[in-house]
Structure 1
């Protein structure tokens, strides 16, 4: 269901790729991403074998499907339906947390805080239906409701040590979402190429876009992805774990926006539209590389280091990607330069001795936790 919702959001942005639509897209994307993260982290914290979780997840998925159905048309026409569906999703999530707090005394402090915050957020979403649909007041209410939920785990991180997510399950689910987001690039590229006659002129930019997606996949999975979460289990570094997890939001957002840029630019007609779509390639790629640099930094910080060659490669790559924005490029040159840049950064990261060492540390720590779950 989350796959469908992300695809609907990409199509929504692709139908009118203007800078004015980015803020609306970002807010709606943040809501769907947070619904996914709530279900994912809940399962990683408390397990997914209970009957209540299965019934709750079924309800959440049905409501996410309803959210996806509302993601069409003008916001002024669909905002109330979106708010009701999403608010009901948050109410289910709140009930799950409150149930955990009732059943597990050792988890009560953390679970109840998340439950009450999520429940209040659900009320705000439902109450926003009474405001003008798509108006500034409603959008502010949605933003405040999301911020309430986002900051609650940060403010409750001390008691959150009693409910750390599983060191293996959470990275696996987070990685799966990134694969889905990167796959959206291929989906949008195929859709954009179908609008043009099949020829080398359309195939070469599409090939470059696919190479770009594969390079981003390699860059993401070359990271020692579980070390911040392992550090929370071994050292109680909940702040680093939260920075690592929240850092995935801008990466997923950038990748989905990038999919719109590379896909729509293949079928763009006017020079003005091509210029706008060029920004939707340059800046999301810069955002994706910058976010990967941040994720790298969280891991290095945990190891007591500040930088390495890979971090600098990612940062320089983000700057160079941003410089593609103001240049005047046709789709072939734009996609070729973006792919060449990303491939170069991926090679630099893959051949960095620090990448290999971090991977070895990750394997040793994972094996230690497997032998002794209570550090």
Structure 2
């Protein structure tokens, strides 16, 4: 920690800190999101229906956005002094309160969820105000974020005064405004580019967190029923699916989409960045789907909603992995990268067909087929990479 109790924010431009890694404070901060994701997954597991899925997505988005906002502020301005640490502790307490309100976030706890979200975003706005005050070079960028996020908070504050379901309409407007705010920073981001190593590492760490939740769901599914051959097979194949996702993601992701920011072109970067939101939701939902398959591993036919949850989540993951891989290799015009993306798309199409036509498939057979599709994609990825290197 910096020996001073407090110091003004410093601008961390990408080229100045090429080997920058996540700090211990950032890793500690991530722990509270482990709890938040676990609560979201628990909610979805308790209600595998269209409404349960809508609730899962609706509450996942603002939680992920809170994490991303803190991450991007830290990659540009963090100081790790006493003030920074205490402010991080306050943010963690607010996210914990946000997690408490997840269980009934679209019903009786919607007011509490809205209040805690406003509190979390208010802290970020204050941080940008401080950074802009002390760093004139960054002021155009920080002012842009402050205006966009403050206007979004206006919608959230209005939502606290109106009943449901109108409240959720204002939430949606607020989130839409926040998500489009970075699109207008092209010329500003060209001058202040986030760290090319730090941002991909932070996104990768969040992906690991969600993958960990998938493994936890598998273990919980097995412990909640008597072990037998079918449940162990489903659990094993479920873990292999998570391993396949890990392989496909970390063998392709890097910071190359950030390079587009230097030219003021935000489209590729934003696509790459926001794809991680859908990947995180897909990974968490896949874990829930595997857990339910383990629970129903002995049945002949899987309930329709649980088949669609599992296959739909895996399909989303494979589609997003294709997009992330494509945006990563697009600058280098890497032909192999495009081919590997099409392999992922092919696997996604196969799993989607299983969701549509797999009405007669048992949980064991369904999991086996999905796991095989993922493992074949990994094998094709490995073969293509090996061929390119030879």
TM, length-normalised to structure 1: 0.89
2:384 is aligned, of 348, 352, 362, to 352
2:165 is aligned, of 116, 136, 143, to 136
Mark the CA change 1:146 to 1:6 in structure 2 (over 3 Å): closer, same or farther: same
Q: Could you list the per-position Cα deviations for residues 80-102 of structure 1 after superposition, in whole angstroms to 9, with x for gaps in the alignment?
A: 01000111001111111111111
Distance 2:114 2:153 in 1: 9
2:340 is aligned, of 303, 310, 316, to 310
TM, length-normalised to structure 2: 0.85
Residue in 1 that maps onto 2:18: none
CA contact (8 A) 2:187 2:264 kept: no
SS of the residue corresponding to residue 191 of structure 2 reads: helix
- TM-aligned CA deviation for residue 168 of structure 1: 1.2
Following superposition of structure 1 onto structure 2, how do residues 334-345 of structure 1 map, counting pairs within 5 Å?
Answer: 334-345=366-377
Q: Could you list the per-position Cα deviations for residues 274-298 of structure 1 after superposition, in whole angstroms to 9, with x for gaps in the alignment?
A: 3211111111111111111111111
Mark the CA change 1:356 to 1:218 in structure 2 (over 3 Å): closer, same or farther: farther
- TM-aligned CA deviation for residue 54 of structure 1: 2.8
Residue in 2 that maps onto 1:322: 352
Indicate whether 1:77 and 2:108 are aligned: yes
- TM-aligned CA deviation for residue 127 of structure 1: 2.8
Distance 1:74 1:41 in 2: 26
- TM-aligned CA deviation for residue 139 of structure 1: 1.0
Q: How many residues align?
A: 354
Residue in 2 that maps onto 1:361: none
SS of the residue corresponding to residue 75 of structure 1 reads: coil
Distance 2:109 2:388 in 1: 49
Mark the CA change 1:324 to 1:37 in structure 2 (over 3 Å): closer, same or farther: same
- Aligned-residue CA RMSD in angstroms? 2.1
Q: Could you list the per-position Cα deviations for residues 284-317 of structure 1 after superposition, in whole angstroms to 9, with x for gaps in the alignment?
A: 1111111111111112321135663211101101
Distance 1:146 1:356 in 2: 42
- TM-aligned CA deviation for residue 48 of structure 1: 4.2
Residue in 2 that maps onto 1:225: 254
Distance 1:4 1:161 in 2: 36
Long gaps (5+) in structure 1: 358-375
1:171 is aligned, of 200, 222, 232, to 200
Following superposition of structure 1 onto structure 2, how do residues 152-163 of structure 1 map, counting pairs within 5 Å?
Answer: 152-163=181-192
Residue in 1 that maps onto 2:9: none
More helix by share: 1
Following superposition of structure 1 onto structure 2, how do residues 265-280 of structure 1 map, counting pairs within 5 Å?
Answer: 265-268=293-296, 274-280=303-309
SS of the residue corresponding to residue 162 of structure 1 reads: coil
Residue in 1 that maps onto 2:70: 39
Long gaps (5+) in structure 2: 1-31
Residue in 2 that maps onto 1:290: 319
